[in-house]
């Protein structure tokens, strides 16, 4: 399923790039094709909670999301655009009530930016392709990275890995 998801993403990538020549810097964040939709289009596609979290920088209540305690193997993709974001094999039990990962499945698929909301200085994590708010990353994670990506269940969709 993970392979299928990657091929789906690649297929979409190829499709959207068909009218422009391949660039030498392809692979940089700056060259990733962005997905832009109106709030109305996102609302039609997402549940109220998914819209609130991903498009309005919301946060789901801890221990309330679909995946905070999930051990199922697979790849977590962006609920908005399907981009592979996190691997269940890099998920760990942080005890914080949100799905937590010590790395992103592909670095360039997630973008980090400073977030000064609520009187705190944090690092927000968004989907590079569609700018969906995913959560925050902290530097108190386990080895080998020491990173803790604290992600809202509402921002992602688990694509189970095939047993084959
Ligand atoms: Zn996305």
pTM, two decimals, is: 0.80
* Residue 14, pLDDT above cutoff 80: no
- Alpha helices (H) along the chain: 2-17, 39-45, 48-55
Question: 140-155: buried (b, 16+ CB within 10 Å) or exposed (e) per residue?
Answer: ebeeeeebbbbbbbbb
Domains of the chain in sequence order: 3-160 (2.170.150.20)
User: Which residues are close to ligand 1, an ion, with C-beta < 5 A?
Assistant: 78, 80-81, 83, 127, 129-130, 132
How confident is the model over 45-82, as pLDDT tens digits?
A: 999 999 999 999 999 999 999 999 999 999 999 999 99
| DSSP-assigned beta bridge partners for residue 151 | 135
- Number of residues that make up the chain: 164
* Residue 13, pLDDT above cutoff 70: no
Q: 73 alpha carbon to ligand 1 midpoint, in Å?
A: 21
pLDDT, averaged across the chain:
87
Radius of gyration of the chain (CA): 16
Q: What token pair was written down for 47?
A: 């549940």
Q: Tell me what the mean pLDDT of segment 115-139 comes to.
A: 97
Nearest alpha-carbon partner for 138 in 108, 95, 101: 101
At 59 the pLDDT is 97
Task: Mention every residue, 6+ apart, whose C-beta is less than 8 A from residue 52.
Answer: 58, 154
How many angstroms separate the CA atoms of 135 and 93, rounded? 16
Which residue among the candidates 78, 81, 127, 150 is catalytic per the annotation? 150
% of the chain surpassing 90 pLDDT: 77
Q: 124 alpha carbon to ligand 1 midpoint, in Å?
A: 14
Q: Tell me what the mean pLDDT of segment 8-36 comes to.
A: 52
Whether residue 96 lies in the annotated active site: no
| DSSP-assigned beta bridge partners for residue 124 | 113, 136
Q: Tell me what the mean pLDDT of segment 3-14 comes to.
A: 49
Q: 141 alpha carbon to ligand 1 midpoint, in Å?
A: 24
Q: 152 alpha carbon to ligand 1 midpoint, in Å?
A: 13
Confidence of residue 26 (pLDDT cuts 50, 70, 90): very low
* Residue 113, pLDDT above cutoff 60: yes
Nearest alpha-carbon partner for 51 in 133, 160, 163, 136: 133
Q: 91 alpha carbon to ligand 1 midpoint, in Å?
A: 19
């Amino acid at each position: 399923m993970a392979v299928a998801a990657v091929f789906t993403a690649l297929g979409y990538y190829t499709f959207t790039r068909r009218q422009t020549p391949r660039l030498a810097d392809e692979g940089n964040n700056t060259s990733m094709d962005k997905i832009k939709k109106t709030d109305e289009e996102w609302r039609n596609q997402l549940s109220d909670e998914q819209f609130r979290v991903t498009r309005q920088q919301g946060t789901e209540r801890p221990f309330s999301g679909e995946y905070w305690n999930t051990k199922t193997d697979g790849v977590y993709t962006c609920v908005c655009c399907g981009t592979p974001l996190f691997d269940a094999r890099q998920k760990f039990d942080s005890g914080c009530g949100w799905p937590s990962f010590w790395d992103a499945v592909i670095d360039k698929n997630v973008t980090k930016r400073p977030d000064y909301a609520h009187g705190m200085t944090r690092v927000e994590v968004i989907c590079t392709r569609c700018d969906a708010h995913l959560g925050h990353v902290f530097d108190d994670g386990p080895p080998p990275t020491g990173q803790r990506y604290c992600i809202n269940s509402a921002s992602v969709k688990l694509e189970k890995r095939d047993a084959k």
